[in-house]
Amino acid sequence: MMSMPLLPMWLRIGWTVALGAVVLVHLWHAGSRPGQARWWHAGHTSMALSMAGMYLWGRGIHPDLYRVGGWVFAAWAVALVVTAEAARRREGVLNRLWVAAAVDMAAMAYMLLPAHLAVVSLVLVVYLFGQSVAWAAGLWGRAVGPGPVAAVGGGTAAGRPAGNGVGGRLRLIRDSPAGHTADAKVARR
């Protein structure tokens, strides 16, 4: 178990301030977005608050906080897997943002463990770096591939209308839990 912080105090305070801004943005989105988006932003608010806590208080100072936090994030991860599966059954396609959120919560639970395996840590560092780049570059909104719902001829996988669907076009409807939407029409071959 490590009791000495890896970062100098000035950098820890800087990251905490940056995470405070992230918390404010997620709280604003959680309050202004409906449905699934509200829960997605609430989960990421808890992640940012926990990260700020990790920068401010070392494990040696508050070990119980780390222990409880690990269980909370493990529960979040399991709840998100269940949510992703329920949404998949309802909408017909697995929403990759719920999957990513579940992995994010599992990564938080891992960070709060008292011991870490180097290979798992490396995989998570690469994954979280990739996530950061994807979000910063807006790649999630432009992602190509299976979205939450794919329908031919104007219906969704759940059987609800999805626009006019004129001309035998395939309409991909991607409604991310983050509250951002992107529609694309692709000619059926």
Dihedral sign for Cα atoms in the order 97, 178, 128, 110: negative
1 pLDDT band, cuts 50/70/90, is: very low
**What distance in Å separates the CA atoms of residue 19 and residue 45, rounded to the nearest whole number?**
9
Residues 103 and 165 in one domain: no
23 pLDDT band, cuts 50/70/90, is: very high
How many domains in the chain? 2
105 pLDDT band, cuts 50/70/90, is: very high
Residues 101 and 180 in one domain: no
28 pLDDT band, cuts 50/70/90, is: very high
Residues 131 and 160 in one domain: no
Domain of 25 in residue numbering reads as 9-142
Residues 137 and 158 in one domain: no
pLDDT of residue 62: 79
Nearest alpha-carbon partner for 105 in 141, 140, 83, 72: 72
Residues 158 and 66 in one domain: no
pLDDT of residue 103: 93
In a domain, 2, yes or no: no
Residues 28 and 48 in one domain: yes
The predicted-structure confidence for 62-73, as pLDDT tens digits, reads as follows 788 889 999 999
Residues 130 and 172 in one domain: no
Per-chain mean pLDDT for the chain: 76
Residues 51 and 72 in one domain: yes
Residues 101 and 41 in one domain: yes
What's the pTM value of the predicted model, to 2 decimals? Answer: 0.68
pLDDT at 165 over 70: no
Residues 70 and 18 in one domain: yes
146 pLDDT band, cuts 50/70/90, is: very low
**What distance in Å separates the CA atoms of residue 149 and residue 163, rounded to the nearest whole number?**
13
**CB count in 10 Å sphere of residue 111:** 19
Strand extents, DSSP E, the chain: 149-152, 169-175, 181-187
In a domain, 38, yes or no: yes
pLDDT of residue 109: 94
